[in-house]
Amino acid sequence: MTYCVAMRLDAGLVFLSDSRTNAGVDHINTFRKMTVIERVGDRVLVLMTAGNLSVSQSVVNILRERLDRSDQENLCSLPNLFEAARHVGSVVREVHQRDAAALQEFGIEFNASIIFGGQIGEEDPRLFNIYAAGNFIEASEDTPYFQIGESKYGKPIIDRVVNRRTTFEEAAKCALISMDSTIRSNLSVGMPLDLLIYERDALRVRDHVSIGSQNAYFNTIRTLWGERLRQAFTELPDPDWGNF
């Protein structure tokens, strides 16, 4: 399992992913879930994947291999984000046609979720959630963020904090707290983390950092968040059982 979250803000886009694929008492694997395609001055595209690792890696590898081919459409030849999202979805379906039946014979579900976003040329930054069937939805004013993977633990803080006017600093902080809540509640989500900030109309990545277990800022905010939550809880009034 994994956890990825992306936010579409007036200022641009924020992406955060973990890197754990499976975990047990003596078995932990990590694979990067974020893929970045950047052609400075032309486009920045970011994919984050969850689900079956072999499926998601097949999709990403096919997308990468086609970047250098001029005889067919690819993520660097398409004119806008909608067409790029459609292309990613078609590759998901292509992998499904090739592998789904064989996986099913071994009792393995074809499972893949992709957050895909960025900016091409002069169009606005856009953000999509692409499903295993290759269909997708786009982030909107009412829904400015997407989550994939183990999303339920980190959702409440985002619902309370994030809107289109949220700053990069607030959004990054909120995403990291959302990730910390998920890591604390689910062993299958873990570090290191990938955090990427894309500023509207820059057509280049502003910040892309790897956050490990010794990262001072992440450890500070996760400690303070836990302390402040306990403080807020103790300050809540106790139930008045007589007038409940």
Of the chain, the percentage scoring pLDDT greater than 70 comes to 95
Q: Locate tokens 């955060």: which residue? A: 16
Q: Locate tokens 């052609």: which residue? A: 39
Whether residue 156 has a cis bond before it, omega within 30° of 0: no
d(CA 9, CA 167): 8
Q: For residue 23, what pLDDT is reported?
A: 43
Q: Tell me the pLDDT tens digit for each residue of 100-149.
A: 999 999 999 999 999 999 999 999 999 999 999 999 999 998 899 999 99
Of the chain, the percentage scoring pLDDT greater than 90 comes to 82
Q: Locate tokens 């820059």: which residue? A: 202
Specify the pTM: 0.93
Q: For residue 193, what pLDDT is reported?
A: 95
Looking at the predicted structure, is the pLDDT value of residue 152 above 60? Answer: yes
70 against 81, higher pLDDT: 81
Q: For residue 24, what pLDDT is reported?
A: 46
Q: For residue 231, what pLDDT is reported?
A: 97
Tokens representing 114 are 């992709």
d(CA 86, CA 49): 16
Cα 182 to Cα 90, 168, 185, 189: the distances in Å are: 31, 21, 5, 7
